[in-house]
């Protein structure tokens, strides 16, 4: 087993699929060609957690998943097969569980406030007068809760507690006998109506999730305490690397990664860093690379035809009334997030700025209102998750460029009086000299730099991924984490340039097509990308389906939601429509995330019922479904090319490929929790055995399994080849993409198959193969070198994987 994974396979570990269940599929994963099991967070999480990102106890392996004994059995089974394990690590936050006592550190802070030994664990603004920690859990305002006698003191346990339905909180010593109205005011926490949180929350959280409280892992004590068990498992040889969740939420991502590298001896570590546009991972981060959203964007983009952008945009605007450009949708969504979900964070930034300036006579005339307007504009116009400015260090050139650009964008929406304030805030965020030369209140200036960067990420994530992506559906396959719906298509030249950069700078990064966070699985996206090549046929189909369902479309159903339904129906079509419970669950999440007619915090039952009723009517209309079936069947050969092509490219390009659980077969999953459904491993084991026994693939799922297993096995057999050079191979057509790895392995894939079909097929198109004898590991066919005819290489499959004989 190598120190660096050759490939990984993501397993979602939880109570229903624990460590023993994972151990049961190790032999299958080995047969598939996987080198490392990539586990979702393994530490003790909040009760009922299905994902593990809500850790409550860093000293224990997840008990619902089987605990330490079961984890050790999994580790032993992996070792028996010379395989390893990668663990997902959550350094940014912990759970605020119910009951709160399950989080020992939090319980201590709730009881003892700033005097708790854990007080420095949490990023709390106690204020000048030790203001209480806001616990926004009440179903109504505190006055009504008291009037309705919904709070009670329980003295029956080890310590007195305050109870509110299923919630319980510790009592500050000596307060248990006070009258209830006085008792609640004497605690180190303030019980409040849940709607108060967005405006008055005084602890940093994960995005807008009140039940995930940020921890200050930048302090050595917190770093060691939250990682001690993980380091022990690593040094015992039971873990072999880490995936780091949301590093942009940390005060000092680079510093964290440096400590991690030191404590792990340079173990393989990848970070969930979302790169926007041409952004690159900071070269001074000691890690192997990202978790692969940047690869997903480029690989998927190879199968999107740029010629479809304009006609699809025209129909999208006609049907939905949405602007032709995505930018205004993003700006509006980010403004809503800044003004509502991130109001408390913005307020804290404004108060920091006011504090800095009030103490400096040269800066005193800048007002809170001006600061608020400037901060809002900077956050709305910030086009990435973070600029990496470290307090006390000169700002990197890229960070300066980013913040200068954002400031100029913000300037357009600020009046003349606020221009000077904008310049001041920009300079403070870059650590420049501003005001008195003695730099009064240096600590506040440093905090401002860090806290602003920690706020940019939540605004991007909640504004773009979790709002705008649910509002604008020109081609929904492009609405993906780390993606850009306006980046319509990737040319082979662009892809080769990207892959070459990876090979030169981040050869051990992770690549992926599906994750637990993707909005749609890779195979749903493949089904939708072929629409980019035939916008006219697609528009005609949708017009026909709309006409057939006109009498089912109630007045409340908006065009955007209806268009999402049609795209979802086609994207998940698999010899029939998606099961109604899955479609309804997805639609409810989608329309609530869009936050236009309904939301998680203010659901509109009438609107949601109208959407659900239309979806039910569509699924019950046999004529509509037959029409969808005919359209979907006509796409089958094109979908096949996109499905197999993007998978083979991802598995053989530079980097460490990850296979999300179950996606070695065709997997038509939507956003979580749909993509956490149980995986039928028995079916996969049987299919792989048939293929290994010499049976030909019987369907697209078999073909995808064939591609996946043969590519992974080839990587395991020839790791040096995939750690070597990346060389684009010349082709005489833009409908093929080809590259060689270390002159030992060649990948060839079909792209834009619809246009290829219109041209009459490959004709005399050729690809130039390096000298030598080659064999296609997918078909067993022997191939020579030189200018080879593509139609002969791809006679059986739309892809080829050649290994030097």
In tens, the pLDDT along 242-268 reads 999 999 999 999 999 999 999 999 999
Residues 276 and 360 in one domain: no
Bridge partners, residue 748, by sequence = 738, 800
Name the token pair of 310. 């304009």
Residue 13: asked if its preceding bond is cis (omega within 30°), the reply is no
Residues 226 and 200 in one domain: no
Cα dihedral across residues 738, 754, 486, 592: positive or negative: negative
Residues 334 and 435 in one domain: yes
Separation in Å, CA 486 to CA 307, 480, 526: 13, 11, 17
Residues 227 and 86 in one domain: yes
Which residues does 327 contact at the CB level (< 8 Å), separation at least 6?
486
Residues 198 and 228 in one domain: no
CATH of the domain at 804: 2.60.40.1180
CATH of the domain at 55: 3.20.20.80
- Of 465, 485, 504, the domain-final residue: 465
Q: Is residue 547 part of a domain?
A: no
Residues 432 and 342 in one domain: yes
Q: Is residue 17 part of a domain?
A: yes
Q: Is residue 75 part of a domain?
A: yes
Q: Please say whether the beta carbons of 109 and 133 come within 8 A.
A: yes
Residues 208 and 225 in one domain: no
Residues 116 and 226 in one domain: no
Q: Is residue 596 part of a domain?
A: no
Q: Is 649 helix (H, G, I), strand (E, B) or coil?
A: helix
CA distance 486 to 328: 12
CA distance 229 to 41: 12
- Give me the pLDDT at residue 198, please: 85
Residue 528: asked if its preceding bond is cis (omega within 30°), the reply is no
Q: Is residue 647 part of a domain?
A: no
- Give me the pLDDT at residue 1, please: 64
Residues 81 and 140 in one domain: no
- Of 465, 489, 513, the domain-final residue: 465
Q: Please say whether the beta carbons of 801 and 709 come within 8 A.
A: no
- Of 408, 441, 465, the domain-final residue: 465
- Give me the pLDDT at residue 442, please: 87
CA distance 508 to 15: 32
Residues 137 and 29 in one domain: no
Bridge partners, residue 260, by sequence = none
- Taking Cα atoms as reference points, which of 21, 63, 25 lies closest to residue 42? 63
CA distance 8 to 86: 8
Q: Is residue 712 part of a domain?
A: no
Residue at token pair 């070695």 = 664
pLDDT < 50: residue spans in the chain? none
Residues 461 and 376 in one domain: yes
Report CA 673 to chain centroid distance, whole Å.
Answer: 13
Which residues does 390 contact at the CB level (< 8 Å), separation at least 6?
252, 254, 255, 449
Report CA 247 to chain centroid distance, whole Å.
Answer: 12
CA atoms within 13 A on the CB side of 14: 15
- Give me the pLDDT at residue 230, please: 98
DSSP symbol at 249: G
H helices of 25-103, where? 26-32, 67-80
492-505 vs 293-301: helix crossing angle, rounded to 10? 150
Bridge partners, residue 17, by sequence = 14
CA distance 319 to 313: 10
Q: Where are the beta strands (DSSP E) in 661-744?
A: 726-728, 736-741
CATH of the domain at 160: 3.30.1590.10
What phi-psi label fits residue 174: left (phi over 0), alpha (psi between -120 and 50 degrees) or beta? left
Phi, psi (5° rounding) for residue 168? Answer: -140, 145
Name the token pair of 794. 């791809």
Q: Please say whether the beta carbons of 506 and 456 come within 8 A.
A: no
DSSP 151-210: EEEE-SSSS-EEEETTEEEE--TT-TTS-HHHHHHTSSEEEEEGGGHHHH--B-EETTEE
Q: Please say whether the beta carbons of 457 and 509 come within 8 A.
A: no
- Taking Cα atoms as reference points, which of 642, 384, 674 lies closest to residue 518? 674
Residues 61 and 133 in one domain: no
**Stated pTM of the model:** 0.96
Q: Is residue 640 part of a domain?
A: no
CA distance 95 to 45: 8
Pairing of strands 189-193, 55-61: unpaired
* Domain tally, the chain: 4
Q: Where are the beta strands (DSSP E) in 385-484?
A: none
Name the token pair of 518. 């993707």
Q: Which domain holds residue 51?
A: 8-90+219-256+264-280
Q: Is residue 178 part of a domain?
A: yes
H helices of 470-553, where? 492-505, 522-529, 535-548
């Amino acid at each position: 087993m190598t120190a660096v994974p050759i490939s990984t396979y993501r397993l979602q570990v939880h109570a229903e699929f624990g460590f023993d269940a994972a151990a049961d599929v190790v032999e299958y994963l080995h047969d598939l060609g996987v080198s490392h099991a990539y586990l979702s967070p393994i530490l003790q999480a909040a009760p009922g957690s299905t994902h593990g990102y809500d850790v409550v106890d860093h000293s224990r392996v997840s008990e619902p998943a089987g605990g330490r004994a079961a984890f050790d059995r999994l580790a032993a089974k992996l070792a028996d097969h010379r395989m390893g394990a990668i663990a997902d690590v959550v350094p940014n936050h912990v759970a605020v569980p119910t009951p709160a006592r399950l989080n020992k550190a939090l319980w201590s802070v709730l009881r003892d406030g700033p005097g708790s030994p854990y007080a420095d664990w949490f990023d709390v603004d106690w204020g000048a007068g030790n203001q209480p920690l806001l616990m926004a859990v009440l179903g109504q305002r505190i006055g009504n809760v008291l009037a309705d006698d919904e709070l009670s003191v329980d003295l029956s346990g080890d310590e007195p507690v305050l109870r509110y339905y299923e919630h319980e909180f510790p009592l500050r010593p000596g307060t248990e006998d006070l009258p209830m109205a006085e008792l609640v005011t004497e605690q180190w926490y303030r019980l409040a109506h849940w709607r108060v949180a967005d405006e008055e929350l005084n602890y940093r959280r994960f995005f807008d999730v009140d039940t995930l409280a940020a921890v200050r892992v930048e302090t050595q004590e917190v770093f060691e305490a939250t990682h001690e068990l993980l380091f022990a498992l690593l040094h015992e040889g039971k873990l072999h690397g880490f995936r780091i969740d949301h590093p942009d939420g940390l005060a000092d991502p680079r510093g964290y990664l440096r400590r991690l590298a030191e404590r792990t001896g340079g173990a393989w570590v990848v970070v969930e860093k979302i790169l926007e546009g041409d952004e690159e991972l900071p070269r001074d981060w000691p890690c192997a690379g990202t978790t692969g959203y940047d690869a997903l964007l480029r690989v998927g983009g190879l199968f999107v035809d740029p010629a479809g952008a304009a006609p699809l945009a025209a129909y999208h605007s006609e049907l939905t009334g949405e602007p032709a450009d995505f930018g205004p949708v993003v700006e509006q969504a980010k403004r809503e997030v800044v003004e509502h979900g991130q109001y408390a964070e913005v307020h804290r930034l404004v108060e920091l700025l006011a504090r800095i300036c009030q103490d400096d006579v040269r800066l005193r005339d800048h007002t809170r209102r001006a600061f608020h307007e400037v901060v809002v504009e900077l956050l709305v116009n910030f086009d990435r998750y973070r600029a990496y400015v470290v307090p006390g260090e000169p700002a990197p050139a890229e960070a300066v460029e980013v913040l200068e650009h954002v400031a100029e964008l913000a300037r357009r929406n600020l009046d003349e009086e606020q221009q000077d304030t904008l310049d001041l805030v920009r300079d403070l965020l870059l650590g420049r000299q501003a005001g008195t030369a003695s730099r009064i209140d240096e600590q506040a200036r440093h905090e401002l730099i860090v806290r602003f960067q920690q706020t940019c990420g939540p605004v991007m994530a909640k504004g773009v991924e979790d709002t705008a992506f649910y509002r604008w559906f020109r081609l929904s396959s492009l609405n993906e984490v780390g993606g850009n719906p306006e980046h319509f298509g990737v040319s082979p030249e662009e892809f080769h340039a990207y892959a070459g950069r990876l090979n030169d700078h981040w050869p051990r990064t992770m690549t992926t097509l599906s994750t637990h966070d993707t909005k749609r699985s890779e195979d749903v996206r493949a089904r939708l990308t072929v629409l980019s090549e035939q916008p006219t046929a697609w528009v005609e189909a949708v017009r026909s389906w709309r006409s057939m369902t006109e009498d089912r479309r109630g007045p409340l159903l908006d065009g955007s939601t209806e268009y999402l339904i049609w795209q979802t129906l086609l994207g998940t079509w698999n010899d029939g429509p998606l099961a109604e419970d899955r479609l309804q669950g997805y639609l409810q999440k989608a329309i609530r995330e869009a936050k236009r007619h309904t939301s998680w915090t203010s659901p509109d039952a009438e609107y949601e019922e109208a959407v659900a009723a239309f979806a039910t009517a569509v699924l019950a209309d046999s004529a509509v479904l037959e029409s969808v079936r005919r359209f979907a069947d006509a796409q089958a050969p094109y979908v096949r090319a996109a499905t197999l092509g993007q998978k083979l490219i991802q598995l053989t390009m530079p980097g460490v490929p990850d296979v999300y659980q179950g996606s070695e077969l065709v997997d038509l999953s939507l956003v979580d929790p749909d993509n956490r459904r149980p995986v039928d491993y028995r079916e996969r084991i049987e299919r792989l055995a048939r293929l290994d026994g010499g049976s030909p693939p019987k369907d697209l799922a078999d073909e995808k399994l064939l591609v996946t297993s043969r590519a992974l096995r080839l990587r395991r057999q020839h790791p040096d080849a995939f750690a070597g050079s990346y060389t684009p191979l010349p082709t005489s057509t833009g409908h093929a993409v080809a590259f060689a790895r270390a002159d030992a392995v060649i990948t060839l894939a079909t792209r834009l198959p619809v246009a290829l079909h219109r041209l009459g097929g490959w004709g005399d198109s050729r690809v130039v193969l390096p000298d030598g004898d080659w064999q296609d590991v997918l078909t067993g066919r022997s191939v020579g070198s030189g200018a080879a005819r593509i139609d002969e290489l791809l006679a059986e499959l739309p892809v080829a994987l050649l290994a030097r004989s």
